[in-house]
A = this chain, B = another copy of it.
Amino acid sequence: MTAARTFGPVRIVGTGLLGTSLGLALRARGVEVILANRSPAALRLAIDYGAGRAATDADAPALVVVATSPDSTAERVAAELAAHPEALVTDVASVKGGILRELIAVGADVARYLGSHPMAGRERGGAMAARADLFDGRPWVLAPHDATDPAQVRALEDLALDVGAVPVVMDPEDHDRGVALISHAPQLVASLLAARLTDGQTRAVGLAGQGLRDTTRIAASDPELWVQILSANAAPVAEVLSALRDDLDAALAALRDPEAPGALATIAGVLDAGNRGVARIPGKHGRDERYASLVVRIDDRPGELARLLTEIGEEGVNMEDLRLEHSPGAQVGYAEIAVLPERSHELATALEARGWTLVEGR
């Protein structure tokens, strides 16, 4: 293991999921971690897990990370700036602009504040849910402002890299607009769509396929958490949703009079824009244009999928992505496998030779 880049000690205020996970990850790199929490029991638990040690009056942290609830973050950051006049102070809240504005409003020393947002999380919160690998491969956004010194950005980049995250530098307002677009608005849209299912006949909902399941999956998220996030980033989320609402109104008008001139063109325009939008999403997913998709029929019993993946491995083909599609009411399922296009025909032939049934693009 290479030496840690982070210059400690690092003081972590708030020992919930993110604070405790950060402590665990930094301790694993040998960085000195000081933990603080208003609840002695919660603090003791994080210390028991090995996320760091309790604070002392003699502490002189080089970096303070505020990982309290979004509502209390700005107040806590201001207190830490005052208490540790030598330290760089950051936070991990998922919305950045409002905190900076609050700090400026209360006259805090924002020259030593650099907000950040590690884009990692879990359904469950608290120290008990903490993992040293929580930040593995996740983007960690750094949001510098006018008073930020480049050395401060480098210091937080080192912190992100030490815990396995991918540092991304963004203006606070760009960050908030960005997460509104890729996370906050989609959450509300998925909830709005899933909410419609509460009206539907049970037998109609029973016809649902994989498309509906994927489209509404995140609607199962925790409402309490999301009310906090959405209200903290209300304006950018409203901006995305009001543009969506305008498109929806145009589509609705077309659907109410599909014979009208231009109606079908309006609907086609929405569908085409959807094609272009989804093509911009990076990373691995079934429809990723960089990959070819093979769909293999598998019996819905233990071992079959493992056997398939083992045989794909034996063919020396790297599986870029995998999605299971289930057939309601049947004892069969389909595994959708994404592979490099130049290997796809060869793999299809090999799998069929091994007795698998291929149903490409089902």
Question: Taking beta carbons and an 8 Å cutoff, which residues of A are in contact with B?
Answer: 119, 122-124, 129, 131, 133-134, 136-139, 141, 164, 166, 168, 170, 174-175, 177-179, 181-183, 185-209, 211-221, 223-224, 226-227, 230-231, 234-235, 237-238, 240-245, 247-249, 251-252, 255-256, 258, 263-264, 267-268, 270-287, 297, 301-303, 305-306, 309-310, 312-313, 316-319, 321-324, 326-332, 357, 359-362
Contact = CB atoms under 8 A, between A and B. Distances in A.
A141 B258 CA distance: 25
Contact of A231 (B196, B238, B264, B322): B264
A271 B197 contact: no
Given A211-B187, A242-B252, A330 B267 contact: no
A122 B343 CA distance: 22
A310 B318 contact: no
Nearest to A169: B203
Contacts of A214: 214-215, 217-218
Contacts of A203: 168, 170, 174, 178
A201 B263 CA distance: 30
Given A207-B119, A215-B190, A326 B330 contact: no
A357 to B, nearest CB: 7
A240 B234 CA distance: 25
A255 B283 contact: no
25 contacts: A136-B330, A137-B327, A138-B328, A178-B203, A182-B205, A185-B193, A188-B271, A190-B215, A191-B270, A191-B275, A196-B244, A198-B276, A198-B280, A205-B280, A208-B281, A214-B215, A216-B274, A219-B274, A227-B271, A230-B267, A241-B251, A241-B252, A245-B245, A302-B313, A302-B319
A96 to B, nearest CB: 13
* Residue of A122, A139, A215 ringed by the most chain B CB atoms within 10 A: A215
A206 B169 CA distance: 12
A238 to B, nearest CB: 4
A21 to B, nearest CB: 10
Contact of A230 (B199, B219, B255, B321): B255
B200 A189 contact: no
A252 B245 contact: yes
Contacts of A306: 306, 309-310, 312-313
A138 B247 CA distance: 33
A-B pairs with the 7 shortest C-beta distances? A137-B330, A137-B327, A191-B274, A178-B204, A306-B309, A197-B277, A195-B273
A221 to B, nearest CB: 7
* Residue of A166, A285, A286 ringed by the most chain B CB atoms within 10 A: A285
Nearest to A321: B324
A82 to B, nearest CB: 28
B186 A223 contact: no
B285 A217 contact: yes
Contact of A213 (B201, B212, B285): B285
B321 A322 contact: no
A226 B200 CA distance: 22
Contacts of A224: 268
A119 to B, nearest CB: 6
Contacts of A297: 133, 136
A122 B362 contact: yes
